[in-house]
């Protein structure tokens, strides 16, 4: 992607929100660079559609204007910590021609580009934190878009919002830019500082100490290998419920008075139970999300990954496990007003883990994934993901309910879990 940059509007450096500050400190290198630690990348295939690239570039420019965190310059100042400076930037789209002929050649070329993107970090000092590649043949219809954003400045909620903004800008090119007042990152950071300095902080910490008397929980699956002895090599597995299977799942959730996500989580945990080396069930989840209202609608990474405890005994069936998942999720939602590191410091690490982040322990990650939709000229892109080769947790599961299907995607550590075992767990959703 070729780009153009402009001078910063005012040249002022401002503080960043809490979660982004943690990420920037973690990414800082000795030479002052801030290479991406994680990237968010999705592919959107439009078979039979020749995307108007100049029009899409204009839409990208409007979407970036609406979400300026993608064009900020970031730094970690030795005296003031992580900061950002506003700047202007107009993104350009790289157009790549696949080497072969036919639609499958186009999709294969796009998948290779997406896989390579995960090894191509941004430098957050640069202020250009979005890449878009269009893969298509010059003499044929059909386009695949590869959209990559730095994860430190864009969580999953923000990525879905950006796609909505891009779709709207492409659709409504002749209208004025959407008037969606959004707070600056500095305003979000100020709101977070006030929340973390108030009396409510200690009340929440007291509640978490009561919830987690033994510290941050650890869920060990299959093998008793310490987290520090695990390697991060990962593999992927996915399952999809559609048609009558999906309808049965939705009806079952309604009968149990739980959400589709809660029932799917319960089915997965119930299937995992024979492999859990211990009596307690828990998982980490970003579902509480942004802990101050000022962050609503602002593109950034504000997600706080919190532990959810599931009070279900080994004898619990799926229905009882679903009830316990509901209790755990709702309790966490009601006590989400402080970020994870504050909770960790309040309750302690227990006997598990070591290192800077206390999720460095054997554990499971389960997230309700927002639906990633990119719509151009009335056509909705067919979404897919690149090949993930690393796994932070024993297993990470992303559950998305589109209203017509339920998709559960996973990445798991091959040093701990066999693919056949993971596929058995996923099959419990059917």
Domains of the chain: 4-180 (3.30.559.10), 200-427 (3.30.559.30)
Q: Please report which confidence band the pLDDT of residue 407 belongs to, taking 50, 70 and 90 as the band edges.
A: very high
Q: What is the DSSP letter of 427?
A: H
Q: How far is CA 2 from CA 56, 57, 89, 119, 420, in A?
A: 15, 11, 11, 19, 44
What is residue 354's predicted lDDT score, i.e. its pLDDT?
46
Give 227's pLDDT tier (boundaries 50, 70, 90): confident
d(CA 115, CA 282): 32
CB 75 within 8 A of CB 347: no
Crossing angle of helices 318-334 and 260-272, rounded to 10°? 120
- Is residue 9 very low, low, confident or very high in pLDDT (cuts 50, 70, 90)? low
Extract the runs of DSSP E, i.e. beta strands, from 9-87: 13-15, 39-46, 73-77, 81-85
On whether the CB atoms of residues 284 and 359 are closer than 8 A, the answer is yes
**pLDDT at residue 252 tops 50:** yes
Whole-number pLDDT of residue 10: 66
Neighbours of 199 (CB within 10 A): 7
pTM beyond 0.95: no
Q: What is the pLDDT of residue 3?
A: 44
pLDDT for the residue 390? 87
Helices 199-211 and 185-197, axial angle in degrees (round to 10): 70
pLDDT above 90 coverage of the chain, percent: 73
Going by pLDDT thresholds of 50, 70 and 90, the confidence category of residue 177 is low
Give the model confidence (pLDDT) of 367-376 as tens digits.
998 889 999 9
Question: What is the pLDDT averaged over residues 359-386?
Answer: 90
User: Is it the case that residue 228 has pLDDT exceeding 90?
Assistant: no
| Mean pLDDT to the nearest integer, 98-104 | 91
What is the rounded distance in angstroms from the CA atom of residue 71 to the CA atom of residue 162?
A: 13
In degrees, to the nearest 5, what angle opens at C-alpha 418 toward C-alphas 416 and 421?
115
Angle ∠(251,253,257) on CA atoms, nearest 5? 115
Mean pLDDT of 242-249: 98
Average pLDDT over residues 299-317: 93
How many Å from the N-terminal Cα to the C-terminal Cα in the chain? 42
Residues 6+ apart with CB under 8 A from 53: 93, 95, 134
Biggest CA–CA distance in the chain, Å, is 65
Beta strands in 86-154 (DSSP E): 88-90, 94-96, 130-135, 143-150
Lowest mean pLDDT among 14-18, 249-253, 283-287: 283-287
pLDDT of residue 145: 98
**What is the average pLDDT across 200-216?**
94
Residue 273 near residue 425, CB atoms below 8 Å: no
The CA distance from 156 to 299, in Å, is 10
Chain segment 265-276, per-residue pLDDT in tens: 999 999 999 999
Query: Which residue did the predictor score with more confidence, 245 or 8?
Result: 245
Is residue 137's pLDDT more than 60? yes
DSSP class per residue in 301-329: -----EEEEE---TT--HHHHHHHHHHHH
* Dihedral of alpha carbons 219, 224, 230, 235, sign: negative
- The pLDDT of residue 416: 94
CB 91 within 8 A of CB 61: yes
Angle formed at CA 425 by CA 422 and CA 426, multiple of 5 degrees: 90
């Amino acid at each position: 992607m070729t780009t153009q940059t402009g001078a910063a509007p005012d040249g002022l450096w401002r503080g960043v929100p809490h979660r982004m500050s943690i990420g920037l400190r973690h990414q800082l290198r000795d030479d002052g660079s801030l290479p991406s630690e994680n990237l968010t990348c999705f592919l959107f295939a439009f078979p039979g559609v020749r995307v108007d690239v100049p029009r899409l570039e204009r839409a990208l420019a409007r979407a970036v204007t609406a979400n300026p965190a993608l064009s900020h310059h970031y730094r970690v100042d030795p005296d003031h910590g992580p900061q950002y400076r506003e700047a202007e930037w107009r993104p350009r789209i790289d157009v790549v021609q696949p080497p072969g002929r036919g639609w499958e050649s186009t999709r294969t070329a796009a998948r290779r580009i997406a896989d390579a993107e995960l090894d191509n970090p941004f430098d957050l000092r640069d202020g250009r934190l979005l890449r878009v590649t269009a893969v298509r043949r010059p003499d044929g219809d059909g386009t695949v878009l590869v959209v990559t954003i730095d994860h430190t400045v864009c969580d999953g909620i923000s990525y879905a919002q950006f796609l909505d903004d891009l779709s709207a800008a492409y659709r409504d090119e002749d209208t004025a830019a959407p008037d969606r007042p959004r707070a600056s990152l500095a305003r979000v950071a100020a709101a977070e500082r006030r929340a973390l300095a108030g009396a409510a902080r200690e009340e929440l910490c007291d509640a978490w100490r009561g919830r987690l008397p033994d510290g941050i929980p650890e869920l060990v699956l299959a093998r008793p290998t310490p987290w520090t002895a695990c390697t991060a090599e990962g593999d992927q597995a996915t399952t999809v419920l559609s048609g009558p299977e999906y309808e049965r799942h939705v009806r079952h959730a309604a009968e149990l008075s739980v959400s589709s996500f809660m029932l799917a989580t319960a089915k997965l945990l119930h299937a995992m139970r024979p492999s859990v080396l211990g009596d307690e069930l828990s998982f980490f989840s970003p579902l509480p999300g942004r802990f101050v209202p000022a962050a609503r609608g602002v593109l950034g990474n504000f997600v706080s990954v919190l532990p959810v405890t599931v009070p279900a005994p080994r004898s619990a069936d799926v229905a009882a496990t679903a009830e316990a998942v509901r209790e755990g999720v709702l309790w966490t939602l009601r006590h989400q007003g402080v970020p994870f590191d504050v909770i960790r410091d309040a309750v302690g690490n227990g006997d598990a883990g070591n290192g800077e982040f206390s999720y460095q322990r054997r554990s499971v990650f389960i997230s309700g994934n927002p639906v990633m939709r990119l719509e151009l000229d009335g056509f909705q892109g067919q979404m897919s993901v690149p090949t993930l080769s690393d796994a932070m947790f024993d297993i990470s599961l992303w559950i998305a309910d589109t209203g017509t299907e339920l998709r559960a995607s996973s990445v798991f550590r091959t040093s701990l879990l066999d693919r056949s075992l993971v596929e058995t767990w996923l099959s419990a959703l059917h």
